Chains A and B, each alone.
Chain A
Amino acid sequence: QSALTQPRSVSGSPGQSVTISCTGTSSDVGGYNYVSWYQQHPGKAPKLMIYDVSKRPSGVPDRFSGSKSGNTASLTISGLQAEDEADYYCCSYAGSYDWVFGGGTKLTVL
């Protein structure tokens, strides 16, 4: 069970869109529709932003969207805002009631 692969960093200007990828295998991302995304600001606990690949919890702006194709899931943030600057982690169910996180992506808003 290896960590999911995410880009170390992405950046974008206010108002632009960015996409963060999360690549796993057919045993995790590709095998189940249980991919979630978490936003973490420095010194804070992670916050759930997307669950079940593309669903948004109540209170999460619709600027955040999720998708999946094969073994790769993606988080897209449109209309970037300064407050979106944070670390983002994907997580997937990996079968047998196990879970695996990605290595994290630092989003910089230029």
Chain B
Amino acid sequence: QITLKESGPTLVKPTQTLTLTCTFSGFSLSTSGVGVGWIRQPPGKALEWLALIYWNDDKRYSPSLKSRLTITKDTSKNQVVLTMTNMDPVDTATYYCAHSVGGSFDYWGQGTLVTVSS
């Protein structure tokens, strides 16, 4: 079955760069049509799509955060990495990775809470 799990620091300081890793199993990111996305959710607030990388290495970013985000994949390791630069307290959120095929995010990781504080 498909599973995803996010990992990374739970606490980062303002201005630092956040690096999150999504390790997945049950599918291959080299299969046509497959993608892995990142979505975040500040405490008590709504979901926000951040980025998505496709099987063909096409990368898409939220227009509002594009300048701060980089998404990469390592197909051999079944991992997708998201980096976000210049972290700010408003970036405090639970960060999820999710499997995408077609027009939806059908499998989600459990999420990882990242707090930005000095």
List chain A positions with a Cβ less than 8 A from chain B.
1, 3, 32-36, 38, 40, 45-48, 51-52, 57, 89, 91, 93, 96-104
**Given A45-B108, A45-B109, A45-B110: A33 touches B103 (CB 8 Å cut-off):** yes
Minimum distance in angstroms from B4 CB to a CB of chain A = 9
Most B Cβ at <10 Å: residue of A35, A46, A104: A46
Q: Which of A45, A51, A96 interacts with B104 by CB under 8 Å?
A: A51
For the complex formed, measure the closest distance between the CB of A49 and the CB atoms of chain B, giving whole angstroms: 10
A-B contacts at CB below 8 angstroms, number: 70
Interface size class of B (residues with CB under 8 A): 20 to 34
Partner of A51, one of B47, B64, B106: B106
Among the 9-residue stretches B21-29, B55-63, B85-93, the one with 4 or more Cβ atoms under 8 Å from chain A is B55-63
- Interface status of B116 (Cβ within 8 A of chain A): no
Q: Is the CB of A46 within 8 A of B108?
A: yes
7 intermolecular pairs with C-beta atoms under 8 Å apart: A1-B62, A36-B105, A48-B105, A52-B104, A89-B47, A101-B48, A104-B47
Which residue of B47, B48, B52 contacts A38 across the interface (Cβ within 8 Å)? B47
Q: Is the beta-carbon distance between B104 and A48 smaller than 8 angstroms?
A: yes
The complex places the Cα of A57 from the Cα of B111 at a distance, in Å, of 21
Query: Do most interface residues of chain B lie in helix, strand or loop, or is the interface mixed?
Result: strand
Residues on A with C-beta less than 8 A from B109 are 45
Bound complex: CA A33 to CA B104 (Å):
11
What are the residues of chain A within 8 A of B39 when measuring CB–CB? 46, 101
A99 to B100, CA, bound (A): 11
- Measured CB to CB, the nearest residue on chain B to A101 is B47
How far, in angstroms, from A102 to B58 measured CA to CA in the complex?
24
Task: Identify the closest chain A residue to B45 (Cβ).
Answer: A104
Q: Which of B92-118 contact A (CB under 8 A)?
A: 96, 102-111
- Report which residue of B39, B46, B60, B63 has the largest number of chain A beta carbons within 10 angstroms of its beta carbon: B46
* Residue among A1, A57, A99, A101 making CB contact with B52, cutoff 8 Å: A99
Pick from B37, B62, B104, B108 the residue with the most CB of A within 10 Å. Answer: B104
